[in-house]
């Protein structure tokens, strides 16, 4: 059975749908920490979904309004550099931007990660901060 997904016109297989649900249930500590800070529009009013299926891939976090995918990469991704590059290229072909952060970045300086995510949500150039 095929169900409609969040992405317009996308069909998601039941297998992918169940895998995404499982990933939501068993997030890594870094994913959980980031989710606790971006859920319920806590980050600048931007709405994020976690473990969202997009074109057959399950992305860690997705903000539809910003067209942003946030991936939290652990050490296992060191073995999948080419696959991650292909995945990123596919997502970018859908006019999505992909921001990759590491588990270590989230665990050691989540405020810096949140600032990067917020900047990526609103790519409009801002005037430099300073006295004036």
Q: How many CA atoms lie within 13 A of 4 on its CB side?
A: 3
d(CA 48, CA 35): 9
Determine the average pLDDT of the residues in 119-123. Answer: 87
% of the chain at pLDDT higher than 90: 68
- Please give the residue that has the higher pLDDT: either 84 or 5: 84
pLDDT score for 42:
96
pLDDT digits (tens, 9 = 90+) for 35-86: 999 999 999 999 999 999 998 899 999 999 999 999 999 876 566 788 889 9
CB 121 within 8 A of CB 46: yes
Residue-wise DSSP of 57-73: EEEEEEETTTTEEEEEE
pTM reported for the whole predicted model: 0.85
Determine the average pLDDT of the residues in 122-130. Answer: 61
Q: Which residues contact 62 (CB under 8 A, 6 or more apart)?
A: 6, 48, 49, 50, 52, 54, 68, 69, 70
pLDDT score for 132:
46
d(CA 96, CA 92): 5
pLDDT score for 78:
63
Across 10-14, 53-57, 106-110, which has the greatest mean pLDDT?
106-110
**Reduced to 3 states, what is the DSSP secondary structure of residue 118?**
helix
Q: Which domains does the chain have, with CATH numbers?
A: 2-121 (3.40.960.10)
Determine the average pLDDT of the residues in 77-96. Answer: 85
């Amino acid at each position: 059975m095929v169900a409609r997904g969040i992405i317009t016109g996308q069909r998601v297989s039941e297998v992918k749908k169940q895998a995404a649900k499982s990933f939501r249930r068993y997030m890594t500590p870094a994913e959980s920490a980031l989710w606790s800070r971006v859920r319920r529009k806590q980050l600048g009013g931007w709405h994020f979904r976690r473990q969202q299926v997009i074109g057959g891939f399950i992305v860690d976090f997705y903000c539809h309004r910003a067209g942003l995918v946030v991936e939290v990469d652990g050490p296992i991704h060191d073995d999948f550099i080419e696959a991650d590059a292909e995945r990123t290229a596919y997502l970018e072909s859908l006019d999505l931007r992909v921001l990759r952060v590491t588990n270590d970045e989230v665990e050691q300086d989540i405020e810096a990660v949140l600032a990067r995510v917020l900047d990526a949500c609103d790519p409009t150039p801002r005037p430099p901060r300073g006295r004036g």
